[in-house]
Amino acid sequence: MTGLQLRHRRRPRLDRRPPPPRPSPAAPAVPNRGQAWPEKATARAAGIALLALAALGCGSGSGTGSEPTPGRAAQSRPGLPGRPAQPGPGQLNVYIWTNYLPAEVVAEFERRTGIRVNVDTYSSNEALLDKLQSGVADYDLVVPSDYMLQILVPQRLLRPLDRRRLPRFGNLDPRFLDRKFDPGNRCSLPYLWGTTGIGYDRLKVAAPVDSWQALFDPRHAGRVLMLDDMREAFGAALRLDGRPLNERDPAALRRAAARLAAQKPLVRTYNSSDFANLLAAGDVDLAQGYNGELAKVVAREPHRFAYVIPREGGTLWIDSLAIPSTARNLDSAYAFLDYVLEPAVAARIVAGVRYASANRAALPLIAPEIRDDPAVYPAAAVLDRCQLIEDLGATTPLLDRLWTEVKAR
């Protein structure tokens, strides 16, 4: 990992139901890992199975301490090239979003503890789900997004956290605790958070942008970028219509689909991975996107670019640290969790990734140019207009069909 660590968030269609939960093996031997993504069933029966398991909470698992994993195949980790992951004590296996953990933060942890950190990376929650559902994933820490926890927790794919081993838990901002996706934070610690809004070129868009309507304005025909993301695209249309992000009313969803279909001639591209670069290069004038990448563009040329969360409201997302039910190096995992809860460490992570930290105690240590950047740390009144994405359950097949029709036009 080198340079500024920026995350390319790609939200998969995880509203589609995953396969029925599998029992968590107590001590699986790890064969060669497949790379295929799982098929997502939309059957109502799968949803009922998840709801039935919801009361069970996190998985219990049986590993303790730094117990080595039998049969683990050596493999190079993208985060720290050339370091094979070998079984045994004194190591930590992390599975995290691409470019979401600064190399210097990892190096300092290794220096302090003597624990070697092996980092695998992914670019979607769906890849994480695949690994954990396979029953052979050998990771000690993972970083699922808010709505992914709503799938992982009922399937008992995560361990309950021992709060006694997290003395710095109090450093976390209460605003990001005890959320619906993990009540009481039994299985997760909030790590980083951000928003979805609009980045735009001040030199090409005359009037200040403060509404999702800007993305639907015929004056910007051919100069608009939308995220290639069903929930985010519908979210913009729904909020513009005064409806909630997690709308379930079929009539309201059909109205939003009609708005998106009418907008399509204005859209130059649907893109969830390169939206910030396309805006910076002048290929588009307005881009729906995630705040971290857009904040970097704005910081480079503040006279030209801006980022805004529209007055109708946007998406708030929270990524959390969690321990898989099959984790073996538990002492190392807890040591790392407590480490990143240190205010100074959390501040260094923010400096590297330019996303906001859920660590309230770190705020005074964050560079003023980041801490005072509303693209990274929006005001409380702005956040109050944002909502978390939730699983839509039985409504998902309708939304999926409407999105397919919009994209096929």
Q: Is the pTM higher than 0.85?
A: no
pLDDT classification of 283: cutoffs 50, 70, 90: very high
CATH number, domain 194-316+384-408:
3.40.190.10
Q: Tell me whether the CATH fold assigned to 44-193+317-376 matches the one assigned to 194-316+384-408.
A: yes
- Domain ranges in the chain are 44-193+317-376, 194-316+384-408
Three-state secondary structure readout of 141-165: EECCEHHHHHHHCCCCCECCCCHHH
pLDDT digits (tens, 9 = 90+) for 8-63: 454 444 443 344 333 333 333 322 222 232 333 333 333 333 434 444 457 654 44
Distance CA 326, CA 330 (A): 10
- Residue found by looking up tokens 């599998």 in the block: 22
109 vs 94, 168, 198, CA distance in Å?
Answer: 13, 16, 36
pLDDT digits (tens, 9 = 90+) for 108-160: 999 999 999 999 988 778 789 889 999 888 999 999 999 899 889 999 999 99
SS3 label, residue 260: helix
Q: What percent of the chain has pLDDT over 90?
A: 66
Contacts of 349 (CB under 8 A, 6+ apart): 101, 102, 105, 192, 340, 357
Distance CA 393, CA 406 (A): 21
With contact defined as beta carbons under 8 Å apart, do 333 and 339 qualify?
no
CATH number, domain 44-193+317-376:
3.40.190.10
pLDDT digits (tens, 9 = 90+) for 100-115: 899 999 999 999 999 9
Determine the Cα angle at 244 with ends 241 and 247, to 5°: 100
Residue 268's closest CA among 234, 220, 230, 223? 223
Residue type, 256: A
pLDDT digits (tens, 9 = 90+) for 195-234: 999 999 999 998 889 999 999 999 999 999 999 889 999 9
pLDDT digits (tens, 9 = 90+) for 155-190: 999 999 999 999 999 999 999 999 999 999 999 999
